[in-house]
Structure 1
Amino acid sequence: MSVFVALDFSTWTETEQFLKRNDLAGVPVKLGMELFYREGPAIIEKLQADNHSIFLDLKLHDIPNTVHQAMKNIASLNVDVVTIHAMGGKEMIYQAKQGLAGSSTKLMAVTILTSMDNTVLEQELGLPGNVEANVIRFASLAKEAGADGVVSSVHEVPMIKAHCGEDFLSITPGIRLSDSSQDDQKRVATPEEAKQQGSDFLVVGRSITKAENPRKAYEQVMKEWQHGK
């Protein structure tokens, strides 16, 4: 089990200052599009040099061959986890996994973003069924195509495990300490609730990065994740 701290910063300078200032060397981190697209693969090497496990959250979604070739390049970076969008379909997910062949990088498929709710799915995307039904649909598709697990809200984890098996991994963002703001996330939970629901990995961003004392907030997340409040 790991807790990934979301490094939602614009530059490596900001990122490095945050990690050093708050004594967070070596903690698992999530690296998203904003930072990776600016700094490139070099930032992976810098983080790995400081013993950070890395969740590379790129959410790739393209034609199968393009994703396959991209994953071949990502495999050489030796990150721990990388993401794609399950909405890309079964063949795309399969080709993504094939692109990672020979590496230890785990492939996780994003089901429904935690910023979405039933209204968005029905009125904007035109998807039949509610959030839960679509999460199960995409999780099942991802497993059939060879993904190691999915990214979903805490609240869908028990259903995913029931449909896809306990060994099908679940990474859950939208984690907030009880005294933190929900911001733009609509399906959130505390670390304790995530553990109770069966999450394998957590992603925590603003509850740590925007805290008055980020190191203390990180330790509180770990405490709640491992032992409850």
Structure 2
Amino acid sequence: MELCVALDLPSAEENLALARSLKSYNVWMKVGFRAYIRDGKPFIEALKAINPDFKIFLDLKLYDIPNTMADAAEEITRLGVDMFNIHASAGAVAMKTVMERLSTYDKRPLVLAVTALTSFDEANFQSVYEKSIDEKAEQFAKMSYENGLDGVVCSAYESRAIKKATSEEFLTLCPGIRPFGEDAGDQQRVATLDLAKQEGVDFPVVGRPIYKDSDPKKKVEEILKEIVTF
């Protein structure tokens, strides 16, 4: 299990200050839509300058026609990030096209597919996908596995079933982690670190419980200590 810290603060300066406070830890840093659109490649370079051992997860959830997704995947690879994601809803052809394009690189990032956003509750998910979250997440995971992706983004509640349906080595990255039962905020399917452990989560993503804490560094230390005890 490897901690992924979500850099979702309102400005690059605040996100970089958080990263600097955590520079002694070899954790993953999640760069999402707002941060990347606002701050771009220089922000990723600034994170690497703080700690070259930071692993970068670029969370852009690509979703377009297959060739456009593959073009974007190549540009992401050239950024030097360590992981990025696409939407599983883009389908098998898009997955295959992305992975075939990246196969030409000596070193490529991990590629994950988003199954069901953790902001969905069951009713709203079914209104879009006409299947339950559990059923569709497993279907998307199998499709991702069969087309060569490294893992999926899902809630902790789906992690164990997804690994059983694919492989124990198939990665699960899970947002909405509230390490010690903190407030759920706008997330619907949140989980504690203890539940994430039970469900075999590889990457717990923690944002607000860290950056809204009065002492983010201490909070990360507490989380890492909990992870080590696993």
TM-score by length of 1: 0.93
How far apart, in 2, do the equivalents of 1:99 and 1:10 lie? 34
Over 3 Å counting, the alpha-carbon distance change for 1:164 and 1:210 in structure 2 is same
* Equivalent in the alignment of 1:181: 183
AA of the residue aligned to 1:173: P
Q: Does the 8 A contact of 1:111 with 1:151 survive in 2? A: yes
Q: 1:157 aligns with which of 156, 159, 163?
A: 159
Over 3 Å counting, the alpha-carbon distance change for 1:75 and 1:119 in structure 2 is same
Query: Alignment partner of 1:142: what SS?
Result: helix
Q: 1:93 and 2:95 equivalent? A: yes
Unaligned stretches of 5+ residues in structure 1: none
AA of the residue aligned to 1:92: A
After TM superposition, the structure 1 = structure 2 runs for residues 36-55 of structure 1, keeping only pairs within 5 Å, are: 36-49=36-49, 50-51=51-52, 52-55=54-57
How far apart, in 2, do the equivalents of 1:165 and 1:158 lie? 10
Aligned residues: CA RMSD: 1.5
How far apart, in 1, do the equivalents of 2:160 and 2:57 lie? 22
AA of the residue aligned to 2:155: S
* Equivalent in the alignment of 2:2: 2
Q: 2:222 aligns with which of 209, 220, 224?
A: 220
Query: Alignment partner of 1:41: what SS?
Result: helix
How far apart, in 2, do the equivalents of 1:203 and 1:2 lie? 9
Unaligned stretches of 5+ residues in structure 2: none
After TM superposition, the structure 1 = structure 2 runs for residues 134-173 of structure 1, keeping only pairs within 5 Å, are: 134-173=136-175
Residues 219-228 or 137-146, more deviating: 219-228
Tell me the alpha carbon deviations over residues 121-146 of structure 1, each in whole angstroms, 9 at most, x when there is no partner. 223x1x23211001001111111121
Q: Does the 8 A contact of 2:29 with 2:55 survive in 1? A: yes
Structure 1 stretches of 4+ with a deviation exceeding 2 A read 17-20, 22-27, 98-101
Q: Does the 8 A contact of 1:107 with 1:147 survive in 2? A: yes
Q: 2:116 aligns with which of 95, 112, 129?
A: 112
Query: Alignment partner of 1:116: what SS?
Result: coil
How far apart, in 1, do the equivalents of 2:179 and 2:57 lie? 21
Q: 1:199 and 2:201 equivalent? A: yes
AA of the residue aligned to 2:119: S
AA of the residue aligned to 1:90: A
Query: Alignment partner of 2:79: what SS?
Result: coil
- Identical columns (%): 38
Q: Does the 8 A contact of 2:181 with 2:191 survive in 1? A: no
